[in-house]
Structure 1
Amino acid sequence: MDNQNQNISMNITNLIPTQLIQNLVDNYRSNQLEVINESLNMEDAHSIWFDLPTLKSFIAEIETQAQLIDQNVKDEDLGIRFYYAAYPQVPEMSVPTDYANRHTLVMIPTKKKDNLDYDFNPLEDTNGALAITGLITDALAMNHGTLVPPKTSIVETY
């Protein structure tokens, strides 16, 4: 399939000019990332990668858990909020030690109510409440992709 025909079959809202992508990445690297690197005296991560099966599995788990609580929930009422986060000085569990202090993302399910997208933990949402109380020690969430750096940037385009 040639490029022109491929673009026709894509959802036009999912297309971003490559120059805009490069400008956005350059803006981050020359502003926020530069300040972070200088103030923390380190080379922080500037990208994170997740494989497609892992992302699909997380989305499927959000859908499954939301359906268990509310059988009438619609796909358009569910989402994912990406929180910027940083690993601690001494990473926990299975996190590599070279991820210490680096940027990461934490993905939290959201559920729409009254046209607002609330953080949503189906492990706590037994009565339809959306506010996360923190009374449950675990949340449906996702973290720990592959950070660049410390992994190689040779695979990146931007």
Structure 2
Amino acid sequence: MISTILLVITIIAFGIYVFKNPPNQRTTSISELSAPESSTNDKICMDYSDDPMNTLDIDLIRDMVDGYKNNQLKHINDAENIDDAYSIWFDLDILKKFIYHIEYKALNNNNAINPENLGLRFYYSRYPDELPSQYTDLNTVSITYAKHHTLIAIPTYRKNENSPNIDFNPLDTDTFWEGIPSNYSGPISSLPLTKSSQNQSIGAQNHGSLYPPHSNNGIAF
């Protein structure tokens, strides 16, 4: 009799506990069980749908482009005796891939990197006097680009909000905190074995389409 009473009390107590603490009904998928808690990709795949798109006044754009064409560009053309470029076009997918790899390589090589402190510096630059040239990176560049103005994008990083933005190579951790020295020739682990491979590569982007010499359908002619 006593055992029956104890069994009834236990059942009632368990029922009250379940009522107050119902089990979680959520089911876990196989993919969730097998997925890692976090990854480098999770840190860099961002959603900016809640942020407004940046804009500039159209008259300001025209005024600034005309200011360059009527001043700096005019002096360049007169000095070089060429019709130099005043715009450059990049395929959007190329830029997205480049930005992705900057973040991915940097975070993969050093998880202390803060993605919010990464950036890009665009250097005004100039193609060699003759193309093709000694640089294999320019083998696919049109010969009509010789002597023309272009841009080179280099990744940057700053240690904190009050630090300067320094150029760095996402492929070489030695450059993460102190930047790229003036005599830099590439990661130490990949020093050249032959004279022909003396110049080492770093993360950078060039090879956009110039106007002129290509045709332009931009907003500012």
Shorter-normalised TM range: 0.7 to 0.9
Structure 1 equivalent of residue 52 of structure 2: 11
Structure 1 residue 128 displacement after superposition: 4.0
User: Does the residue aligned with 1:66 lie in a helix, a strand or coil?
Assistant: helix
Identify which of 41, 51, 75 aligns with 2:81: 41
Structure 2 equivalent of residue 156 of structure 1: 218
Q: Which moved more, 1:42-51 or 1:108-117?
A: 108-117
Structure 1 residue 135 displacement after superposition: 2.8
For these two proteins, the number of residue pairs brought into alignment is: 148
- CA distance in 1 between counterparts of 2:175 and 2:154 reads 19
Identify which of 49, 72, 85 aligns with 2:112: 72
Q: Which moved more, 1:80-89 or 1:107-116?
A: 107-116
Structure 2 equivalent of residue 121 of structure 1: 169
Q: Which amino acid aligns with 2:106?
A: A
- CA distance in 2 between counterparts of 1:156 and 1:99 reads 19
1:59-93 CA-to-partner distances (Å, cap 9, x unmatched) read 00000111022213222210000000000012331
User: Larger strand proportion, structure 1 or 2?
Assistant: 1
Any unmatched runs of 5+ in structure 1? 1-8
- CA distance in 2 between counterparts of 1:130 and 1:34 reads 38
Q: Which structure has the larger Rg over C-alpha atoms?
A: 2
- Residue 192 of structure 2 corresponds to residue 142 of structure 1: no
Q: Which amino acid aligns with 2:152?
A: V
1:3-50 CA-to-partner distances (Å, cap 9, x unmatched) read xxxxxx8626x1111000000001000000000001101100010000
User: Normalization by structure 2: what TM-score?
Assistant: 0.63
Q: Which amino acid aligns with 2:70?
A: S
- Residue 175 of structure 2 corresponds to residue 130 of structure 1: no
- CA distance in 1 between counterparts of 2:94 and 2:178 reads 25
Q: Which amino acid aligns with 1:93?
A: N
RMSD of aligned C-alpha atoms?
1.7
User: Does the residue aligned with 1:79 lie in a helix, a strand or coil?
Assistant: strand
Distance 1:78 1:10, change over 3 A: closer
Structure 2 equivalent of residue 32 of structure 1: 72
Relative contact order higher in (CA < 8 Å, ≥ 6 apart): 1
- CA distance in 2 between counterparts of 1:72 and 1:59 reads 18
